[in-house]
A and B are shown apart, each in its own frame.
Chain A
Amino acid sequence: MRNRQAIALLALVGLFVALYLWLHQIGVGGELKCGTGGCETVQASPWAQQFGIPVAFYGVVGYAAILTVALVGVQPAWLERRGPTLLIAALATGGVLFSAWLTYLELFVIHAICRWCVTSAVIITVIWLVTLAGLRRKGGLAERG
């Protein structure tokens, strides 16, 4: 259970980061708070949109899905079932691959680093690792905590 609780809390933070980037991309608020990073450069690049949709919106949807599955997974009826962990693993794997591609673009194509994007990449990677740990434990059954 602790495993899925940790994932829910991490997904909530990730959801906040993605929501901030998405709201900025659709014109809500002023400039991004980014310190010395290149958030605006990354957000204004052609790669900040995929298929006409802001990239951050995919993050909002992904984190919201992980959060929902994790919250369902901590309910007593679902605690012993493997399904939620498998679904989170699938979502997190997609998220890690997508983040890796975006980080590659930042480093080698756009030549600017967005701290918020890096934060999101770290969060999804930690979610992925925690999920893998959950899958290995007792054949993927959620640990009672």
Chain B
Amino acid sequence: MKRFYLMLGVLTLALGAMLVYLLKTNPSAPRAANQAPPTVVDDGFRGYTMGSDTAPVEVTEYGDFECPACAGFAVIQMPTIKEQLIATGKVRWRYRDYPLPMHPYSRLAAHAAQCAGEQGKFWEMHDQLFMNHSWAQTGKNPTGLFRDLARAAGVDVGRYDACLQSGKYSARIEFSRQEGEQRLVNGTPTFFINGTMYAGRNNSDAFKAAIDSAAAARRR
């Protein structure tokens, strides 16, 4: 019996020490990737696109990965838009980052998507971030979750980690935000159809009508 209590005591101490160790390590998000850079340089990048280069209509979306309305749009409307408008060659879709200041991890998420993008997996990561959007409601540091999502998106995690730690795309993300600001974007998601701000409803039917109208205007 004494041996049992001794084992119980030793095990409790060992597990307690292990718990403290596990909880103490790595508490913060990569700083460089999650903040605006001191200087902004135009690297010529104008957002990842999806769809045909010869499509008559281009939609530019200014989005924030932490924004619930953007997630709702990506999850509910985008599948129909992809199927009926992008896959059919009617529309080319462009995504631009517009991280809102009240969202603590939207720059980190945008950076995670850029790091996936350099491996050719931007849209896969875009979908992962929006499809698993509960991270945006918890307020918890999502760095580890983003790594899981990157892995699920087919990204090489070693290269992804190095990219995120370097914060190499923070200037690009801030440039995109400033560009949106100049175009009078004041919320997310905001869309431009062939360069004109779209003021209609954010559903696939309304988009289809607006895009048909823009394509007709181009033909005239």
Contact = CB atoms under 8 A, between A and B. Distances in A.
Given A28-B23, A30-B25, A39-B148, A44 B142 contact: yes
B144 A30 contact: yes
A73 to B, nearest CB: 12
8 contacts: A5-B4, A29-B23, A30-B141, A32-B144, A40-B142, A43-B145, A44-B134, A46-B134
The 4 closest A-B pairs by CB, nearest first: A31-B144, A29-B23, A40-B145, A30-B27
Given A9-B11, A19-B19, A74-B4, A31 B135 contact: no
A43 B25 CA distance: 18
A12 B16 CA distance: 11
Interface in B108-148: 132, 134-135, 138-145, 147-148
Main SS of chain B's interface residues?
helix
Q: Which size bracket describes the interface of B in this complex? A: 20 to 34
Contacts of B149: 41
A20 interface: yes
A112 interface: yes
Given A23-B23, A29-B23, A30-B25, 15 more contacts: A8-B4, A9-B11, A12-B15, A16-B19, A20-B19, A28-B23, A29-B27, A30-B26, A33-B22, A38-B152, A39-B144, A39-B148, A44-B134, A44-B135, A44-B142
